Amino acid sequence: MSKRTIKTYPNEILGKKAEKVKSAEEVKDLISEMKEILEEADGVGLAAPQIGVSKQVFVVKDGHHYYGFMNPEIVERSDETITTKEGCLSFPGLWIDIERPKLVKIEALTEDDERMLLEAEGIGAVVFQHEIDHLFGKVFIDYLSGFDKMKARLKYGLK
């Protein structure tokens, strides 16, 4: 099996909405592969579209553990926000300040095939929101406006 690699911006899959999965079983191998790729890349989160698979699957790192989630839905967002410097494996070398809700509640399918309600706060909430955005074709530079977005795009040879 040929190994999948990380797709970088402006690969068109990064702008596409991903398909829901039927069960955790269906994407078991994909999740294992994503965990390996994330570990090798030394990142904190990875979404399936980033490796060329248009499915609603993402993995996040928490401490030394990696967890896979599918078909996520953000059901609650706090008014209070947090601004952090975000990076993205699909945008090598780019770090930008993004403001997001500080606390989110997320419903998602776990690797045990259970629909769970998760609560994430601070950096955890940022990582979840960043990865979930990828499943809906949104990338972090979409939060920038005008000149800042142009500068970010120029970095990747785009106008």
Q: Which residues does the annotation mark as catalytic?
A: 131
When the beta carbons of 40 and 112 are compared against Zn ion, the nearer one is: 40
The answer to whether 34 touches 46, Cβ cutoff 8 Å, is yes
Least distance to Zn ion, CB of residue 90, Å: 5
Least distance to Zn ion, CB of residue 23, Å: 25
The answer to whether 117 touches 107, Cβ cutoff 8 Å, is yes
- The C-alpha R_g of the chain, in whole angstroms, comes to 15
- In the window 73-112, what residues touch Zn ion (CB under 5 A)? 88
Asked if the bond preceding 101 is cis, omega within 30° of 0, the reply is no
Please tell me the total number of residues recorded for the chain in this structure: 159
Residues 6 or more apart whose CB falls under 8 angstroms from that of 75 comprise: 105, 106, 107, 117
The number of residues that bind Zn ion (CB under 5 A) is: 1
Least distance to Zn ion, CB of residue 118, Å: 19
When the beta carbons of 88 and 109 are compared against Zn ion, the nearer one is: 88
Least distance to Zn ion, CB of residue 89, Å: 6
The answer to whether 50 touches 5, Cβ cutoff 8 Å, is no
When the beta carbons of 27 and 139 are compared against Zn ion, the nearer one is: 139
Give the 3-state secondary structure of residue 2.
Answer: coil
The answer to whether 27 touches 57, Cβ cutoff 8 Å, is yes
When the beta carbons of 89 and 115 are compared against Zn ion, the nearer one is: 89
Is residue 60 close enough to count as binding Zn ion by CB under 5 A? no
Residue ranges that bind Zn ion, judged by CB under 5 A: 88
